[in-house]
Structure formats: C-alpha cells, structure tokens
Chain A
Amino acid sequence: MLDNAAALDQFLQSIERRAYRIAYIATSNTEEALDLVQDAMFKLVQKYSHKPETEWPALFYTILNSRIYDWYRKSSVRNRWLGWLPGQRQADDDNTQPADPISQCEDTRAAGPEQVIEQTATMQTIESALQTLPLRQQQAFLLRMWEEFSVEETAGIMGCSQGSVKTHCFRAIARLRELLEDKEL
C-alpha cells in the first residue's frame, strides 16, 4: 500500500504541471485550471489507484478531459444566462486567494529577466493561438502531439474514433501554422 502511495505521488508529481497547462489553455483561468487538476487527482486516487501504473496516464487524462468538457458546458450555459450581468467576470476574479509572500520571492536559479520576458511572450502567443482552436482540436493536439499518446489512446481519452483524432490534429496543426506563421518561435 505504501509503495502504491509513493508511486502515485511520483506519478502525480510528474504530470501535475503539464496537466495544469492543459487545463489552463482550455479555461484561461488559473483558479479553474487548478480546480480541474485537483478534481482529476482526487478521482484517480480514489477510484483507479488499484489499476496498473501503466494505465494511470491515460486514466488521468481521461478524467481531466471529461472535467474540462463539463466545465466548458457549464460555463457556456452560465455565460448564456448570466453573461449580460455587469461585473460577472470581475466577481469571479476577485475571489482569488491572496498570494503567499514566500512563494512570491525571486528564484535566483531561474533564467534572467530578459529571457523570462521573451519566453513568456512566446508562450503567450502560443497559448493564445491554442485558445482560438475549438476545444476538441485543442485537446487532440495537446494529447497527441504534446503528451505523445498514440492515436488509439487519444481516441480512448477523448471518447471518439481514431479517425476523428486524426482529423482534429490535422486541422489543429494547419490552423496553428497559419496563426504562428509570421511569429518567431
């Protein structure tokens, strides 16, 4: 049981930041992205920790993907009904917790300020391009190309056919190339 806990810890640690990035690209909101990743972690530990370790990545991303779709559906409905209310978005943002002062301290091992600014700008460009993609294309691209799941695994995670995964990926790449053509990556 202890071995299992250590393995789970190691697994979650290895994917948490990438999972957060995927959730952030889908939601464009730090708090929502953290909530989605946390929910996926809970579900994996609670329901699937007894499964073989080799199955954890696909299971985790299946849960995360389904959470992202749920969030997307709910926020679409919420925006439809509450979108006209003034300050709705601001109210959401105001609820963020105050930052921990220790965690805000400068990390001396990190890259220099110019490099950080450059990286951040490039990343923001890429994220903006990814965010313009329809959710299915976004997920197919990130799972297949970034997480390097096979077409079959991606189809399993997304709950669609392998043909759909290929189509979504093809369209996503074409659109990203179009959007990032003149940007220097």
Chain B
Amino acid sequence: MTLEQDKFISKLKQQLDQSAENVSPEVGRRLQQARQQALRIPRKRWFFAGLLSRILAPNRKRRYRIAWAGSLAAVFVAAAIYIALVPGLNDHLEVDALEVLAAEDSLEFYDELAFYEWLAKENAQDAG
C-alpha cells in the first residue's frame, strides 16, 4: 500500500470510528436493550427457553412473523376442530367403513357395489 493510500484509509477509519461513537441516543438505547435481552438467553442446552426469549425480544420483524404464524396456526386449529366436531361432515365415511368391517356379506358384493350404484342411477334416469 502506498503512503497516500494509507492516509486515505486512516482518514476513512477515523470518520467511521466517529460515526460509531456518535450513534443517536435512540439507537444507543436500542442496542443496549438488545444486548441485555441477548444476555438473558439461557445458554445452549435450554433450547425452548432460548426460543421463548427470542420470541419475547423487542424485535419488530420477529413480532410480525410470530403474529403471522400464530394467525395461520389458529386458522388450522379452527378448521381441524370444525371438521372433527361438526356432525355430518365425515360421518358417512366412518359409517361406511364400520359397516363394511362388521358386515357378514362377501367382499365380492362390496367390490360390485359401485356397479350397483351406477345401475341404480341409470334406472332412475330412464324412469325420469
């Protein structure tokens, strides 16, 4: 490196040092807050406690992500509860399966059930 280049770099460094020292009080406060929050994280072994600390950290972006994930999870849970509890939505499936398992008819009869259904529809159409 030439002497001129050295001078140029040392001036840049000096300016950068000053800019780091003179960050706004608000940024300084937020950095201090972030550091204190980070130091409260239980180290390495306590994964879930660490995760919880990160979730509760004063981080704007993370809060949005959690809000989105939470909303999405809530929608899924609500849909699952609705499907499980509302009568009539999946009753016929369970009854069909139970009927087949409990019935004494031969399996061939169930194999041909689709054909009988089709035949019944055809007859109904012809009659109509």
| Stretch of B39-47, B84-92, B96-104, B110-118 that contacts chain A | B39-47
| A16 contacts B31, C-beta separation under 8 Å | yes
| A145 contacts B44, C-beta separation under 8 Å | no
| A17 contacts B28, C-beta separation under 8 Å | yes
A-B contact count (CB 8 A): 118
A146 CA / B14 CA spacing, docked (Å): 9
Give the Cβ gap from B43 to chain A, nearest Cβ, in Å: 5
Chain A residue numbers with a CB within 8 Å of B32 are 13, 16
Tell me, yes or no, whether A132 is within 8 Å of chain B by CB.
Answer: no
Chain B residue numbers with a CB within 8 Å of A42 are 37-38, 41, 54, 57
Known A20-B23, A46-B44, A146-B13; judge A5-B39 contact (CB<8 A): yes
Tell me, yes or no, whether A50 is within 8 Å of chain B by CB.
Answer: yes
How big is chain B's contact interface, by range? Answer: 35 or more
Give the Cβ gap from A26 to chain B, nearest Cβ, in Å: 14
Taking a contact as CB atoms closer than 8 A, the residue among A16, A30, A50, A142 that contacts B44 in the complex is: A50
Give the Cβ gap from A130 to chain B, nearest Cβ, in Å: 9
| B37 contacts A38, C-beta separation under 8 Å | yes
Q: SS class of chain A's interface: helix, strand, loop or mixed?
A: helix
Give the Cβ gap from A161 to chain B, nearest Cβ, in Å: 20
Tell me, yes or no, whether A82 is within 8 Å of chain B by CB.
Answer: no
A37 CA / B38 CA spacing, docked (Å): 11
Chain B residue numbers with a CB within 8 Å of A49 are 43-44
Mark contacts of B2-30 with chain A using CB atoms, 8 A cut-off: 1 yes-contact digit, 0 otherwise: 00010011011101101111111111111
Give the Cβ gap from B25 to chain A, nearest Cβ, in Å: 4
Which B residues lie at the A interface, using CB under 8 A?
5, 8-9, 11-13, 15-16, 18-32, 34-35, 37-39, 41, 43-44, 50, 54, 57, 59-62
Which A residues lie at the B interface, using CB under 8 A?
5, 8-9, 12-13, 16-18, 20-21, 30-32, 34-35, 37-39, 41-42, 44-47, 49-50, 95, 97, 99-100, 103-105, 107, 110, 116, 119, 122-123, 126-127, 142, 145-146, 173, 176-177, 180, 185
5 tightest Cβ-Cβ pairs between the two chains A and B: A41-B38, A38-B34, A103-B25, A17-B20, A16-B31
Q: List 25 A-B contacts (CB under 8 A).
A: A9-B39, A12-B35, A12-B38, A12-B39, A13-B32, A21-B16, A31-B60, A35-B60, A41-B35, A42-B41, A42-B54, A42-B57, A45-B43, A50-B43, A100-B26, A103-B25, A103-B28, A119-B19, A123-B15, A123-B18, A126-B12, A126-B15, A127-B19, A142-B16, A180-B8
